[in-house]
Amino acid sequence: MLDAFSRAVVSADAKNAPIGGGELAALRNYVAEGNKRLDAVNAITSNASCIVSDAVTGMICENTGLIQAGGNCYPNRRMAACLRDGEIVLRYISYALLAGDASVLDDRCLNGLKETYIALGVPLQSAARAVAIMKASSTAHINETNTTGTNPVETRFRKMETVQGDCSALVAEAATYFDRVIGGLS
C-alpha cells in the first residue's frame, strides 16, 4: 500500500534518482492542503451510513425489480449484503482519499471484485449505479453543496460545520476514486 509520499518514492527509486524540486512541489501541495483533506475524509466518514443507505435506496428506486421476489436485493439477507458492500467500497475510497493514492483501493477492494460479483450473480450495472450515487452525495458533502433533495423536511440532512474554502481539487480527486470503482465494475 502506498500514499502520496511513498508513491513519489517508488517512482523515484525506479529512476534511481533522489526526490527534488518538481516532485516535492506536488507533495508540498498535499501538505499545504492537508487540513482540507482531513475535513474531506471526515465529511465522508461522518456521513457514511447516510451516503450508503441513500445510494442503495436510490439504486432500488430506479430499478424496483431488485426487491421483488427473485431480485438481487430480495430477501433482507441480500439487501443487507448490498448495504454492507456499499459501506466497504466507501470505506476503501475514504482510505484512498486520506492517503492521496488509489493503491489501497486497487489492492484491497477492486482486485477481483468484478469477478466475485459475476460469480455471485450480482448485477454489475446496479452496483456501479449505487457507487455513482455515492459519488454524487460524497462530493456534495465534501463541497458542502448537499441539499435536502426532494424532501424539504429530511431529518437526516446536515451540513459539516467547516470553514468554507476552495475544495475543487479534493472533490475532483475523490471523484476519480469513485470513477475507479465504477470502471473496475464495468
The site for another protein (CB under 8 A) is made up of 1-3, 5-6, 8-10, 12-13, 16-21, 24, 27-28, 31, 34-35, 38, 41-42, 44-45, 48, 91, 94-95, 98-100, 104, 108
Those residues with Cβ within 8 angstroms of residue 66's Cβ, 6 or more apart along the chain or in another chain: 59, 60, 72, 73, 74, 123, 126
Nearer to another protein, 13 or 166 (CB): 13
User: How is residue 139 written as a grid cell?
Assistant: 462530493
Q: What is the DSSP letter of 142?
A: H
Amino acid sitting at position 70: G
What is the smallest separation between the CB atom of 3 and another protein, expressed in angstroms? 4
What is the smallest separation between the CB atom of 19 and another protein, expressed in angstroms? 5
What is the smallest separation between the CB atom of 61 and another protein, expressed in angstroms? 26
Instruction: Yes or no: say if 65 and 74 are a contact pair by the CB < 8 Å rule.
Output: no
